[in-house]
Structure 1
Amino acid sequence: MISLTVLGSGSSGNCAVLRSENACLLIDAGLSSRRICQRLEMVGLTVNDLDGILLTHEHGDHTQGLEVFCRVSKAPLFSTSYTQAALRDHFVKSSPTWRLMQTGSVFEFKDLRIECFPVPHDAVDPVGFLICDHESRLGVLSDVGYVPNLIRDRLGGVHTLFMEANYDAILLDEDTRRPWPTKQRISGKHGHLSNDQAAELVEHIAHSGLYQVVLGHLSEDCNHPDIARSRIELALREKAAHARVICADRHAPTPWLEVAMKMLLPV
């Protein structure tokens, strides 16, 4: 069964780990290399335990620690060719092994089946992931401006959804530090998901086997864990009131979370 821990998530940096019986994968490397190593140790892992690094896109809050981390880790990087091209010049003192994915493709890695699907965001080729083994279905949805039907279809039936809930619309509107163009970029179709947009997706895909929703990428000053959690819990009330909602922290890893519970899997 797959389990997940979020090493840190927020506008300043995002990084998570999933493991199955035979595989251990980092998802993005938006923390510094030192912090990634420290937080791996906090959840009982070392750099040598990693079998690969999945990259959602090239933005710094998802890759800023990557070049230095690749000096100590030999884990291959899984990315699309466009993301590789955007990042290639950043590798000065390391030469990672690349495993290229085609957007929309499905591939097998050890005991995992991984599908990467396109998402709307202002990056060169951003993707989300559906990661499965024989018991568990994990959806990973990082930076996304809006949710088209393709994303709803791909995430249908997941047991755990790890997704962004970046901002509360009212708090963003009232924010005095961000200029109007920045607010438009954040809330635009290639920006980030609000709590309401995240809730709409959760309500659409909710089912009896949905065990938990893990919220990440919360803005430090335009969102709050209590606001985001309450909005998602409301969306779950009709079809999956049993599902728990967890807000990932930017400063510390979450406990290991089992992606599925056998008692909740659909018959």
Structure 2
Amino acid sequence: MMRFAVLGSGSGGNAAIIECGDLRLMVDAGLSAKQLSTRIRLLGLEPSQLDGILLTHEHGDHVRGLRVFLKQFQVPVYATPATARVVKETGIAGGTWKLFEAGNPFAIGDAVIESFAIQHDAVDPVGFVIGHRERRLGLLSDAGFVTRSMSAQLKGLNSLFVEANYDDDLLEADTKRPWSIKQRISSRHGHLSNAQVRDLIQEIAHPGLVRVVLGHLSSDCNSPEVVLRHLRECLDGLGHGLTQLHCARQDEPSQWFGID
């Protein structure tokens, strides 16, 4: 059995849980340690049951709760050497660190973790594909651009969690952000738009892609209604009307999503 849930996703903090049989992994720890523990328990697990924490990159909304969480629970942390170095410089003492190089697969229990380099303004950001037996889950967040190699890594998935940060028209019309911030968001090292996610889905959609969960939605420059409409039209047009779409929330964990 393989399943996953999003503990929270957005500029206020990001984390997800993946369960592969008896193995339990958390990807990122961007919520407070208290919220991480509370939301893990809401899903019927205990934080002490985690077998590892995978880090995508070092930004605060992905590692904010890590320092306190590691004081409370002895969970190994998996990160690239550059990401580990920068995260440790924030004051994290102790913990067991397991280092990997982007592009080199490794195993945790009977799960195979494939990492791949992504485009973002961090030292060594990565996405993940987690395989368990014949099931594959892809996770792609905080990427300003989808390269051909990234698309290739994400083919053949059963489920995908992907950032859909902004809608182009809503970002352009936004009056809260100065031009420089808008440029950073939409740059090749910023965040993914609805249109970029649509293009990715067109590349990787297949009959076995059962579910796409969308995360990191901007509260001002995107909405579940807008992105779900765009991607539903895309999938239906490709003949994949059975692929399910969901939007993760910032303020509460998602349900468990089974990976068939």
Give the drift of 1:213. Answer: 0.2
Q: Aligned partners of 1:71 and 1:47: how far apart in 2?
A: 12
Partner of 2:230: 231
Q: Aligned partners of 2:101 and 2:225: how far apart in 1?
A: 37
Partner of 2:151: 152
Q: Aligned partners of 1:88 and 1:64: how far apart in 2?
A: 12
Give the drift of 1:239. Answer: 3.5
Q: How many residues align?
A: 259
Identity %: 45
Please tell me the root mean square deviation across aligned C-alpha atoms, in Å: 0.9
Alpha carbons 1:5, 1:257 under 8 Å: kept: yes
Q: Aligned partners of 2:37 and 2:151: how far apart in 1?
A: 34
Q: Aligned partners of 2:86 and 2:234: how far apart in 1?
A: 37
Q: Which runs of 5+ in 1 are unaligned?
A: 261-267
- The amino acid of 2:164's aligned partner reads A
Give the drift of 1:22. Answer: 2.5
Partner of 1:42: 42
Alpha carbons 1:22, 1:111 under 8 Å: kept: no
Q: Aligned partners of 1:239 and 1:189: how far apart in 2?
A: 30
Q: Aligned partners of 1:231 and 1:77: how far apart in 2?
A: 36
Partner of 1:88: 88
Q: Aligned partners of 2:227 and 2:13: how far apart in 1?
A: 19
Runs of 4+ in structure 1 deviating by more than 2 angstroms, as ranges, are none
Matches within 5 A, 1:7-26: 7-26=7-26
Q: Aligned partners of 1:234 and 1:78: how far apart in 2?
A: 37
What TM-score, normalized to structure 2? Answer: 0.98
What TM-score, normalized to structure 1? Answer: 0.95
- The amino acid of 2:37's aligned partner reads C
Q: Aligned partners of 1:158 and 1:173: how far apart in 2?
A: 33
- The amino acid of 1:120's aligned partner reads Q
Q: Aligned partners of 2:160 and 2:109: how far apart in 1?
A: 22
Q: Aligned partners of 1:63 and 1:82: how far apart in 2?
A: 14
* Aligned partner of residue 180 in structure 2, secondary structure: helix
Is 2:58 the counterpart of 1:58?
A: yes
1:23-73 C-alpha deviation (Å, 9 max, x unpaired): 100110010111001101100011111000000000001011111111111
Partner of 2:181: 182
Partner of 1:192: 191
* Aligned partner of residue 89 in structure 2, secondary structure: helix
Give the drift of 1:111. Answer: 1.2
- The amino acid of 1:56's aligned partner reads T
- The amino acid of 2:252's aligned partner reads A
Give the drift of 1:188. Answer: 0.3
Partner of 2:140: 141
Q: Which runs of 5+ in 2 are unaligned?
A: none
Give the drift of 1:135. Answer: 2.7
Partner of 1:76: 76
1:67-112 C-alpha deviation (Å, 9 max, x unpaired): 11111111110000000111112235x4111000111110111110
Give the drift of 1:229. Answer: 1.1
Q: Aligned partners of 2:90 and 2:66: how far apart in 1?
A: 9
* Aligned partner of residue 230 in structure 1, secondary structure: helix
Is 2:171 the counterpart of 1:172?
A: yes
* Aligned partner of residue 13 in structure 1, secondary structure: coil
1:186-211 C-alpha deviation (Å, 9 max, x unpaired): 00000000001001101110000000
- The amino acid of 1:181's aligned partner reads S
- The amino acid of 2:80's aligned partner reads T
Q: Aligned partners of 2:49 and 2:91: how far apart in 1?
A: 22
Q: Aligned partners of 2:184 and 2:51: how far apart in 1?
A: 35
Matches within 5 A, 1:195-206: 195-206=194-205
Partner of 2:120: 121
Q: Aligned partners of 1:118 and 1:50: how far apart in 2?
A: 25
Q: Aligned partners of 2:195 and 2:22: how far apart in 1?
A: 37
